[in-house]
């Protein structure tokens, strides 16, 4: 699936907002995984979306799976070059209130040399 950065962020927020409305702010990890899968299948039945995550899909397609290029800054460090330690592969994703996930800042865009 081809996504712009803006569209990936839009779909990410839409899916997580829908999840928050349907499952609550403190939905458990397994329910989150299942919800993402079902949401992607419902809205994009003919697409295979990496990790059922539009941010992963965007990153995989544009940066050859470099998580440090994710449009969201998952790390709590101020350094955007820091290794992304909190993403869809970490407990942070499974245990953090959805409102906090939705409030994570975007990673700054930088020109590549």
How many folded domains does the chain comprise? 1
Distance between CA atoms of residues 63 and 69, nearest Å: 7
pLDDT at 98: 94
User: 10 Å Cβ neighbour count for 74?
Assistant: 24
Domain membership flag for residue 60: yes
Residue with structure tokens 């299942």? 34
Domain membership flag for residue 107: no
Domain membership flag for residue 98: yes
| Per-residue pLDDT at 83 exceeds 60 | no
User: Taken in order 14, 15, 21, 22, is the CA torsion positive or negative?
Assistant: positive
Domain that holds residue 54: 5-102
Give the percent of the chain with pLDDT over 70: 81
Domain membership flag for residue 113: no
Domain membership flag for residue 37: yes
pLDDT single digits (tens) 14-43:
999 999 999 999 999 899 999 999 999 999
């Amino acid at each position: 699936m081809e996504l712009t950065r803006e569209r990936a962020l839009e779909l990410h927020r839409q899916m997580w907002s829908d999840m928050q409305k349907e499952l609550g702010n403190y939905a458990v990890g397994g329910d989150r995984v299942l919800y993402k899968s079902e949401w992607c299948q419902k809205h994009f039945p003919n697409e295979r979306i990496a990790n059922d995550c539009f941010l992963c899909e965007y990153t995989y397609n544009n940066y050859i799976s470099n998580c440090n290029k994710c449009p969201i800054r998952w790390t709590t460090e101020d350094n955007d070059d820091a290794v992304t330690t909190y993403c869809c592969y970490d407990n942070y994703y499974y245990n953090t209130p959805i409102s906090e996930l939705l409030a994570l800042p975007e990673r700054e865009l930088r020109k590549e040399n």
